[in-house]
Amino acid sequence: MLFNTAEFFVFLAIVLAVFYASPRAFRRVILLIASYVFYLSWNYKFVVLLLGLTVVDYGAAIAIERAPASRKKPFLLISLAANLGMLGFFKYYNFFADNLAQLLRFPPHSWTFSIILPLGISFHTFQSISYVVDVYRGEQQAIRNPVDYALFISFFPQLVAGPIVRAREFFADLYAWKHPSQEEVLRGVLLVTLGLTKKIAFADQFALLSDSYFQHLSDHPGGFAAWSGVFAFSMQIFFDFSGYTDMAIGMALLLGFHFPVNFRRPYLAFSITDFWHRWHISLSRWLRDYLYIPLGGNRYGRLMTYRNLMLTMLLGGLWHGASWNFVIWGGYHGALLSIERMIGRREFEKKPPLWLYPFRALITFGLVYIGWIFFRAATFADSRYVITQLFHGGKQYQAFVPRWMMYMTGASLLIAIVEEKFEWTERLSRGSAWAYAAFMILLLLTIELIGVTEKALPFVYFQF
Amino acid sequence: MRALFTLISTVIGFWAVEFALFHTGAYSLILRHDSSTGSVETYIRNELKRNRSTAPQVLTIGDSRMGFLPRYANDLQTGTQFASIALGGSTPRDWYYMLRGVDPKANRYSAVVIAMNDFEDAEILEDYSVRATDLYYLIGRLKYSDIPYFAKSYQHDPKLEWAAVRGIVLKGLIYKRDFQDFLLHPVGRIQMSQAARKESYLWYYNYVGTNSSMEGVVVDWTNRTVTVPPGFTETQKAAYEFQFLAPSPPYTGVRSAYLHQWLGKIYEHYRASKTRLIFLYLPRGPFVRPDQPAFNPHSSIRELSLQPGVMLLPERLFESIEQPGLFVDQFHMNGPGCAQFSRILAKEISHRLDAL
C-alpha cells in the first residue's frame, strides 16, 4: 500500500475516522492495529520479524533499566545483536557472501540466498537501537506498556522510510496527546498534499527520465544526455524522499504527533556540511548521536575526527544499500566533509554573504550531483561510464529533460528560495483561508495535470 | 471550524477551477486539434458551424475505413447536402457521443449514415467494450450525468471502469498528456489551435486522399501467399499476409453484444425523430477473402433494420471498388477509391431519400 495510491488514502481516511470517533483510551490500540494492517498489506510474513524485534527490544529496555549499572551491558548487546543481526542478514548477507566468494575465487552467487528485504527494516531497527541505547544511557525511561512501545516502532506514517523519530519525541506526544489545533490540521493536510505533489508530479516525472537514462546507458551516449540523466535523478531523489517525508509528517500531525523536520531545502546548501544539516536530517542526527560521537567525534584531534567522519559516512552509505556504490557514495561525502573540516569548520557552517551564496550553493550542488551518480548507477562500471560521459561525452545533443520540466524545476527553486527566506508554507496554515485554498488548488491541479497517475511508482527509499 | 471552512473552500475552489477549465470547453481553446480528444472536438465544432443549405442534410459517420469525402458528394448536386464526422480510430461507442454532440435534439439531419465493416457482427481481434482510448476520444463530450452508463460500459474491466469514473470527474487526468504537450511549445500550440478553429473545416473538406495504391499486389488464395511488386516493404507485405491469410477470430458474440449496445443507443437517440438511420457495408478491401463471415440473422444491424426508420444499403453496393488499384493499404481506400465511393454513396442516399 503505497502512500501515492487511492487505496492508501481510503485507508488513511478510515484510520482518521475510526481514531477520532473512538474513546481516547482505545486510540493507541487503533493506531497499532492500523499500523500492523498497513505492514501486513506489504508482506504478512515479515510481521513476525517486526513483532519479534519489538518484543526483544521492549524486554531488553526494561531489563536494562532494572539491572544494576554493571549488568546493563549484556541486555544492550542482546538488543543490538538482534537488530543488527536481522539487518545484517536480510540486507547484507548476500553482499558479503558474494564478495567473499569472489575473493576466494568461487563462482559468483555460490553462497547467496534468495532473500527479500523486509520493508522498512533499516528504519525500524535504527529507531529501536536509538531507544534501547537511550535507555542504557539513562536518557529515556523504559516503556512499560507493550502497546505503546509497539506503536512507537510500527507507527505507519514513518514505519517504511522514516523520519527516524527519537523515543522521547514520540512518547512526549503520545503521553501528552492533544487534539491537533486548527492550524495543525490545515498544516497536516497541506503537507500531505505537498508531499503527494512532490512525489507524483515532480519525482515520478523525473524518475521516468532518470530510469530511462540509467537503465539503458548505452542508448543515451554523449555528455548532454549524461548531464541531463544525472540531473533528472538529482531532482527525483529529492522530490521523492522529501515528498514522502512531508506526507509522513503531515499524516502524523493529523493524528496529533509531531515529527521532526527531515529536509530543509538541501539544494540551497552552501557547503557539504550544510547539506547534511538539511538532507535526511533524522538520519544525520542518528549517525551523529549513535555512531560519530560514540566513535569519539571531534574530541581526539584532527586525524581522529577525519577518521570518524569517514567511518560514519561509509557506514551511512552502506546503510542505504548493500553495494559498493553506496559505500563509495558514503566515502565520497565523508571525504568532502573531512576536506571542509580541514579547511575550517566555521567557514562551512557560517552562512556566506549574499553575493557569494549562489556560487557556494552551485558548487555544493555540483558536488552532491556527482555523488548521486554512485547512488543511482547499478554498478561501479556504470558510475565510471557516466562520469566519463559527463566530461568526455562530446557535444552530441539529445533533448532529454523536456523544457517544461526545466521550468517546473526553476519554479520550485524559486519557491524554495522564498521559503528559505520567509517560511511561507508554515505561515500559510496560520494565515488567510483564501491564500491557503489558492495554494492547495494549485497543488491539486499540478497533481492532476502533471502527476504520473497511470501507475503508482514506489518511493526510492522504500528499497532501503 | 476555521480548518473545516478552509478545507471545504479548497475542495469547492478546486472543483470550480476544474469545472471551468475542463467541463465548459475553455480548454478546447488550446487543445491540440489532431489529438484523439482534439479530433473529436474539431470535427464536432466544424460540423456545428458548417454552412447548411436548405437541402436535406445527411451526416456520415464511421472510422478511418469510411472513405466518404463530402466534397465529391456535394459536387454531384443531388439536392442533398452531405457532411461527415467519420474519424480514424473511432468506434460505435464514440459515434453515439459524437452524434449526441452534433445533433443533441436529433432534428438536424434527414439521415445519418453509419459505415460498418460487415452486417454479421463478425468478431475482430480487439474487444471494443474495453477500449481505453475511447475515454480519450470522448472526454470533451462526457458529462457528470454520463458517469453511470459510460463507466458501466467498461464493466468487463473494473480498472477501466474506475478510470472512466475518475476521468469524467477529474477531466484534467485525461487532458494531462495534451497539457504536458502544450507546455513543450505553448505559443506554437496556441497559434495552431487558433488556425485549426478558423480553417480546419476547409482542411478536411478539401482533402482528396492519396493516389498510392496496391496495384501489383497479388494474393494467391490457393497457395496462401502474398506477392508484392518492387517498392513495397517487408512490413507492408507482412501486414497484408496477416490481414488476408491469418485465420479470422471465431464467433464468440462479444462484438455482437457490444454493437447491440452502442448501435442500439444510437437508435434510441433517433427513435422518436424523423432522422433515418442508414447502415452501409463498406467495401471489403482490395482483395475479398474467400472466408467471409456467415450470414447472421440476429446480428445487431439486421435486428435494428426491422425497426422503423432504419435502412440497410445493399451489401454489395461498393463491390466495384474492391480492387487493389483503389486501395492504399489492406484497409483503406485511396483518393480515387474514396472519390468513387463517395459518389456512389451520395447517389444511393439521395435516391433513397427522394423515394421516401
Grid cell of A163 as nine digits: 523520519
Residue B136: the pLDDT is 96
Residue A288: the pLDDT is 93
Residue of B nearest to A187 (CA): B3
Residue of A nearest to B21 (CA): A445
Grid cell of B209 as nine digits: 486522399
Residue A157: the pLDDT is 93
Residue A464: the pLDDT is 67
For chain A, what is the total number of helices (H) and then of strands (E)? 22, 0
Residue B268 included in any domain: yes
In a shared domain, residues A168 and A220: no
Number of domains in chain B: 1
Using 50, 70 and 90 to split pLDDT, how confident is the model at A398? low
Distance CA A270, CA A351 (A): 7
Residue A463: the pLDDT is 67
Instruction: Indicate if the pLDDT at residue B114 is higher than 70.
Output: yes
Instruction: Indicate if the pLDDT at residue B62 is higher than 70.
Output: yes
Residue A291 included in any domain: no
Residue A346 included in any domain: no
Residue B19 included in any domain: no
The residue segments making up the domain with residue A111 are 6-177
Q: How many CB atoms lie within 10 A of CB B165?
A: 16
In a shared domain, residues A213 and A85: no
Using 50, 70 and 90 to split pLDDT, how confident is the model at A396? low
Q: Read off the pLDDT of each residue in A185-195 and give the average, rounded to a whole number.
A: 94
Grid cell of A296 as nine digits: 569519539
**What is the enclosing helix (H) or strand (E) of B58?**
strand B57-61
Using 50, 70 and 90 to split pLDDT, how confident is the model at A395? low
**What is the enclosing helix (H) or strand (E) of A389?**
helix A380-392
pLDDT > 70 in chain B, percent: 100
Residue B25 included in any domain: no
Residue A397: the pLDDT is 61
In a shared domain, residues A146 and A187: no
Residue A241: the pLDDT is 92
Instruction: Indicate if the pLDDT at residue A347 is higher than 80.
Output: no
Number of domains in chain A: 2
Using 50, 70 and 90 to split pLDDT, how confident is the model at A348? confident
- Asked if B2 and A402 come within 8 Å (Cβ–Cβ), the reply is no
Residues of A with CB under 8 A from a CB of B: 182-183, 185-186, 189, 402-404, 407, 433-434, 436-438, 440-441, 444-445, 448-451, 453
Out of B3, B6, B170, name the one closest to residue A448 (CB).
Answer: B170
Out of A402, A441, A449, name the one closest to residue B10 (CB).
Answer: A441
Q: Read off the pLDDT of each residue in A293-314 and give the average, rounded to a whole number.
A: 90
Using 50, 70 and 90 to split pLDDT, how confident is the model at A45? confident
In tens, the pLDDT along B14-53 reads: 999 999 999 998 998 899 999 999 999 999 999 999 999 9
- Asked if A436 and B6 come within 8 Å (Cβ–Cβ), the reply is yes
Residue B187 included in any domain: yes
Q: Read off the pLDDT of each residue in B249-273 and give the average, rounded to a whole number.
A: 94
Among candidate residues B65, B112, B106, B114, the one with its CA nearest the CA of residue B300: B114
Among candidate residues A182, A176, A256, the one with its CA nearest the CA of residue A15: A256
Return the half-sphere exposure (C-beta side, CA atoms, 13 A cut-off) of residue A17.
6
Q: Read off the pLDDT of each residue in A281-300 and give the average, rounded to a whole number.
A: 91
- Asked if A402 and B17 come within 8 Å (Cβ–Cβ), the reply is no
In tens, the pLDDT along B138-196 reads: 999 999 999 999 999 998 899 999 999 999 999 999 999 999 889 888 999 999 999 99
Out of A186, A407, A453, name the one closest to residue B173 (CB).
Answer: A453
Asked if A459 and A1 touch (Cβ cutoff 8 Å), the reply is: no
In a shared domain, residues A110 and A213: no
Q: Which residues contact A185 (CB under 8 A, 6 or more apart)?
A: A253, A254, B3, B7
Instruction: Indicate if the pLDDT at residue A300 is higher than 90.
Output: no
Distance CA B135, CA B174 (A): 8
Picking from A118, A144, A177, the residue at the C-terminal end of a domain is A177
Grid cell of A409 as nine digits: 524545476
In a shared domain, residues A157 and A194: no
Asked if B30 and B193 touch (Cβ cutoff 8 Å), the reply is: yes
Residue A42 included in any domain: yes
Residue A97: the pLDDT is 84
Residue A331: the pLDDT is 95
In a shared domain, residues A189 and A173: no
Q: Read off the pLDDT of each residue in B268-296 and give the average, rounded to a whole number.
A: 93
Q: Is B52 left (phi over 0), alpha (psi -120 to 50) or beta?
A: beta
Residue of B nearest to A432 (CA): B6
**What is the enclosing helix (H) or strand (E) of A284?**
helix A281-287
Grid cell of B273 as nine digits: 425523430
Residue A411: the pLDDT is 84
Residue B16 included in any domain: no
Mean residue pLDDT of chain B comes to 93
Asked if B42 and B98 touch (Cβ cutoff 8 Å), the reply is: no
Picking from A125, A160, A177, the residue at the C-terminal end of a domain is A177
- Asked if B176 and A450 come within 8 Å (Cβ–Cβ), the reply is yes
Distance CA A184, CA B227 (A): 74
Among candidate residues A214, A219, A218, the one with its CA nearest the CA of residue A230: A214
Residue A23 included in any domain: yes
Active site (annotated) includes residue A277: no
pLDDT > 70 in chain A, percent: 98
In a shared domain, residues A112 and A26: yes
Q: Which residues contact B266 (CB under 8 A, 6 or more apart)?
A: B92, B95, B96, B99, B112, B114, B277
Distance CA B68, CA B60 (A): 8
Instruction: Indicate if the pLDDT at residue A128 is higher than 80.
Output: yes
In a shared domain, residues A206 and A172: no
The pTM score is 0.86
Using a CB-CB cut-off of 8 Å, the residues of chain A touching B30 are none
For chain B, what is the total number of helices (H) and then of strands (E)? 13, 7
Distance CA A85, CA B294 (A): 71
Structure letter (DSSP) for residue B299: S
Q: Read off the pLDDT of each residue in A190-195 and give the average, rounded to a whole number.
A: 94
Residue A339 included in any domain: no
Residue A169 included in any domain: yes
In the chain, the amino acid numbered B21 is L
Using a CB-CB cut-off of 8 Å, the residues of chain A touching B170 are 448
What CATH number did the domain enclosing B58 receive? 3.40.50.1110
The residue segments making up the domain with residue B225 are 31-355
Residue A100 included in any domain: yes
Asked if A312 and A292 touch (Cβ cutoff 8 Å), the reply is: yes
Q: Is A349 left (phi over 0), alpha (psi -120 to 50) or beta?
A: alpha
Distance CA A186, CA B316 (A): 69
3-state secondary structure of B108: coil
Residue A278 included in any domain: no
Residue B21 included in any domain: no
Residue B149 included in any domain: yes
Picking from A177, A199, A220, the residue at the C-terminal end of a domain is A177
Q: How many CB atoms lie within 10 A of CB B306?
A: 7
Q: Taking CB atoms and an 8 Å cut-off, how many pairs form between chains A and B?
A: 60
Stretch among A233-237, A416-420, B59-63 having the lowest mean pLDDT: A416-420
Residue B96 included in any domain: yes
Out of B3, B14, B176, name the one closest to residue A441 (CB).
Answer: B14
Distance CA A193, CA A297 (A): 39
Q: Which residues contact A145 (CB under 8 A, 6 or more apart)?
A: none
